[in-house]
């Protein structure tokens, strides 16, 4: 009996020692994903037969002639998107109803069969050209579900879906982001499709490896788990996807919202939300457009939590962005730029403290995201920025360099005044690409961050302080 116990103790000790030696290997973002993080905010265009029928999910039996945007102007879309501060756009090239906004050779339910421009129009062509003109990235949403195509529900449809993607990448590229959702309902023959997503992914990877693919489980970026436009207050760029599928088999809503701290794959969160109650344009919603201040709050809860914000601004039946949407979106940009124009702590004196030893640094207040302060792995360490005099502050922006992964799991932000008195303490979890913290205004001269928990060494690239309008703070 004693020999058995001794053996178990030895095995347990050996396994524990081995486990301690085996560390979690954190995934890192690709160059395309790093560039994606820097996009931060861009637009969605939901446009199609639903714009004219008043539906949100068309049935696929809508007559092609219903689609007739007589004043369509993709340059107007891009001009307004640019004026509103968006860095790219994503268009619903084919929604669940199966209607194609380009004259696809693999469908008879397209703009070619409509009355618009006598069947000679091509919205993807016009929009991709307008994006180039206005310096916007061009992305495409292509619904795998197709409620019109007669081959939906058969293996042949997977070939057709690949062929449609070939048309899009060959004729309208480069495609910056490619968007799939997991919707999978019945087609016109009453059958559901078994999507060959592995084949779809392989095609995009081979054809356009720089394209970031969105879905519940990426592989480029993930759905945040809601359509309200906010990420979790804890938001990891990591996600475990083994055993999960898109749609009904996706990870839980909570997991999509927060990610997995020890996830095996870099799949950051994208927050999709509409400027209106619906996703497609409906005239009765003209008075229900989100205000600039509401959009600012969405920005704080998405970009301000390390995610990206995808704002849907649907063109109307004329083929134009409605004036109400335009006014709100442009006012949001003005509000954001006005309130985040002056980083009070830019060029402030910086310092780093480890094991009680302080040293001067300049990397945290130089406005250059390429410079950073590495926070030592095991010992408690702090870094801060300090002014000579007190300034009124009610917003702090933290930035973490993500090139070697996301490391901060918990931090403490301490605010001091010029008498070295602690005025406020704020605790948080993840930082990610950008973390915005707002609070009632205080007079301070020092912002100090202490890393309380991390996997690896957190690379803090910037600490910024602002005084924004009081009613904009997320109290």
What does the pLDDT read at residue 24?
59
Residue 331: the pLDDT is 98
Stretch 88-116: mean pLDDT = 98
Q: Report pLDDT for 23.
A: 54
Residue 321 shares a structural domain with residue 416: no
Same domain, 162 and 275: yes
Give yes or no for a contact between 156 and 193, defined as CB atoms under 8 angstroms apart. no
Closest CA to 99 of 137, 171, 148: 148
Q: What is the pLDDT of residue 48?
A: 98
Q: Do residues 313 and 363 share a domain?
A: no
Q: What is the pLDDT of residue 1?
A: 40
pLDDT tens string 272-322: 999 999 999 999 999 999 999 999 999 999 999 999 999 999 999 999 999
- Enclosing domain of residue 172: 31-339
What is the CATH classification number for the domain harbouring 276? 3.20.20.80
pLDDT for residue 74: 98
Q: What are phi and psi of 445, to 5 degrees?
A: -130, -5
- Same-domain pairing of 377 and 311: no
Cβ-based burial of 245 (10 A; exposed 0-12, middle 13-18, buried ≥19): middle
Is 12 inside a domain boundary?
no
Residues 358 and 325 in one domain: no
Residue 6 has pLDDT above 90, yes or no: no
Secondary structure element (H or E) that encloses residue 125, with its range: helix 123-134
Q: What is the pLDDT of residue 82?
A: 98
* pTM (2 d.p.): 0.94
Please check whether residues 263 and 355 belong to one and the same domain: no
80 and 35 within one domain: yes
Q: Are residues 434 and 464 in the same domain?
A: yes
User: DSSP 3-state assignment of 253?
Assistant: helix
pLDDT tens string 240-278: 999 999 999 999 999 999 999 999 999 999 999 999 999
Q: Rounded mean pLDDT of 28-37? A: 98
Element (H, E) at 34: helix 31-39
**Average pLDDT value for residue range 6-30:** 52
Of 292, 321, 339, which residue is a domain's last?
A: 339
Report the pLDDT averaged over residues 102-126. Answer: 98
Domain count, the chain: 2
pLDDT for the residue numbered 475: 54
Residues 405, 290 share a domain? no
Residue 13 pLDDT more than 60?
Answer: no
- Which of 298, 320, 339 is the last residue in one of the domains? 339
* Residue 12 pLDDT: 38
Q: Is residue 399 part of a domain?
A: yes
Is 2 a member of any domain? no
Looking at 310, 339, 368, the residue that finishes a domain is: 339
448 in the same domain as 320: no
Backbone angles phi, psi at 281, to 5 degrees: -70, 135
pLDDT confidence tier of residue 196, bands split at 50, 70 and 90: very high
Query: Is there a single domain that holds both residue 391 and residue 260?
Result: no
Residues 297, 406 share a domain: no
The answer to whether position 53 is within a domain reads yes
Q: What CATH number is associated with residue 444? A: 2.60.120.260
Judge contact between 109 and 60, C-beta under 8 A. Answer: yes
Does residue 3 belong to any structural domain of this protein? no
Identify the pLDDT of residue 16: 37
Helices 323-339 + 292-301 axis angle, to 10 = 60
pLDDT of residue 42: 98
| pLDDT of the residue at 380 | 77
- Averaged pLDDT, 442-460: 96
- Say if 11 falls within a structural domain: no
CB 364 within 8 A of CB 385: yes
Q: For the chain, give the mean pLDDT.
A: 94
375-428 pLDDT tens trace: 986 667 899 999 999 999 999 999 999 999 999 999 999 999 999 999 999 999
**Per-residue pLDDT at 59:** 97
Is residue 168 included in any domain, yes or no?
yes
Percent of the chain with pLDDT over 70: 94
């Amino acid at each position: 009996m004693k020999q058995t116990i001794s053996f178990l103790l030895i095995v347990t000790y050996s396994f524990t020692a081995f486990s301690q030696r085996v560390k979690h290997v954190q995934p890192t973002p690709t160059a395309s994903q790093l560039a994606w993080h820097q996009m931060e905010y861009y637009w969605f265009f939901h446009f199609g037969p639903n714009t004219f029928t008043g539906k949100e999910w068309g049935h696929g039996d809508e007559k092609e002639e219903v689609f007739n945007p007589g004043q369509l102007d993709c340059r107007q879309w891009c001009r307004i998107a640019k004026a509103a501060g968006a860095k790219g756009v994503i268009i619903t090239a084919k929604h669940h109803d199966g209607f194609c906004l380009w004259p696809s050779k693999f469908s008879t339910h397209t703009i070619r069969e409509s009355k618009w421009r006598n069947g000679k129009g091509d919205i993807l062509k016009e929009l991709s050209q307008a994006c180039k003109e206005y310096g916007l990235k061009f992305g495409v949403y292509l619904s795998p579900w197709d409620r019109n195509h007669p081959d939906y529900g058969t293996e042949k449809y997977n070939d057709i879906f690949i062929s449609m993607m070939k048309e899009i990448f060959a004729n309208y590229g480069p495609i910056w982001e490619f968007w799939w959702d997991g919707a999978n309902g019945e087609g016109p023959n009453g059958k559901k499709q078994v999507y060959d997503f592995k084949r779809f992914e392989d095609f995009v990877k081979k054809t356009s490896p720089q394209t970031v693919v969105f879905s519940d489980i990426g592989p480029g970026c993930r759905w945040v788990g809601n359509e309200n436009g906010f990420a979790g207050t804890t938001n990891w760029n990591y996600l475990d996807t083994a055993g999960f599928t898109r749609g009904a088999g996706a990870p839980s809503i909570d997991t999509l919202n927060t990610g997995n701290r020890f996830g095996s794959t870099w799949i950051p969160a994208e927050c999709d939300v509409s400027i209106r109650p619906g996703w497609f344009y409906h005239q009765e919603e003209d008075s229900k457009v989100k205000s600039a201040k509401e959009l600012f709050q969405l920005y704080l809860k998405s970009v301000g939590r390390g995610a990206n914000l995808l704002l849907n601004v649907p063109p109307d039946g004329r083929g134009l962005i409605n004036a109400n949407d335009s006014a709100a979106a442009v006012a949001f940009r003005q509000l954001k730029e006005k309130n985040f124009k002056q980083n009070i702590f830019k060029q402030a004196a910086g310092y780093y403290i480890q094991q009680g030893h302080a040293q001067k640094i300049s990397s945290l207040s130089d406005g250059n995201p390429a410079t950073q302060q590495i926070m030592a792995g095991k010992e408690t360490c702090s870094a801060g920025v300090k002014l000579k005099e007190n300034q009124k502050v009610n917003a702090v922006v933290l930035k973490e360099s993500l090139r070697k992964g996301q490391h901060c799991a918990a931090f403490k932000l301490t605010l001091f005044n010029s008498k070295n008195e602690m005025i406020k303490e704020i605790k948080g979890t993840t930082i990610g690409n950008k973390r915005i913290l707002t609070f009632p205004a205080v007079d301070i001269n020092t912002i100090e961050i202490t890393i309380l928990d991390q996997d690896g060494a957190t690379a803090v690239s910037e600490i910024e302080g602002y005084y924004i309008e009081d009613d904009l703070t997320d109290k």
